[in-house]
């Protein structure tokens, strides 16, 4: 299922440094959720933030 258009624009724009990727696992298949996420057409830098970078910053995780 696609995200509402307004939310799509927000996560690739002003919320890209604040949003995190997440699912309702096990009710939502992770592989399918990632496929749907990829269809948003985000730039690689935005994908990295939403999938990993923002969580690292939020939780103070070290990078390798």
Quote the pLDDT of residue 51.
94
56, 26 in Cβ contact below 8 A? no
What are phi and psi for residue 35, nearest 5 degrees? -65, -45
pLDDT tens for residues 5-58? Answer: 888 888 888 999 999 999 888 898 999 999 988 888 889 999 999 999 999 999
Grade residue 3 by pLDDT with cuts at 50, 70 and 90.
low
16, 50 in Cβ contact below 8 A? yes
């Amino acid at each position: 299922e696609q995200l509402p258009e307004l939310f799509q624009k927000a996560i690739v724009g002003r919320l890209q440094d604040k949003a995190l990727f997440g699912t309702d696992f096990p009710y939502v298949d992770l592989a399918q959720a990632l496929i749907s996420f990829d269809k948003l057409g985000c730039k690689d830098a935005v994908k990295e933030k939403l999938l990993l970078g923002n969580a690292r910053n939020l939780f103070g995780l070290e990078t390798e």
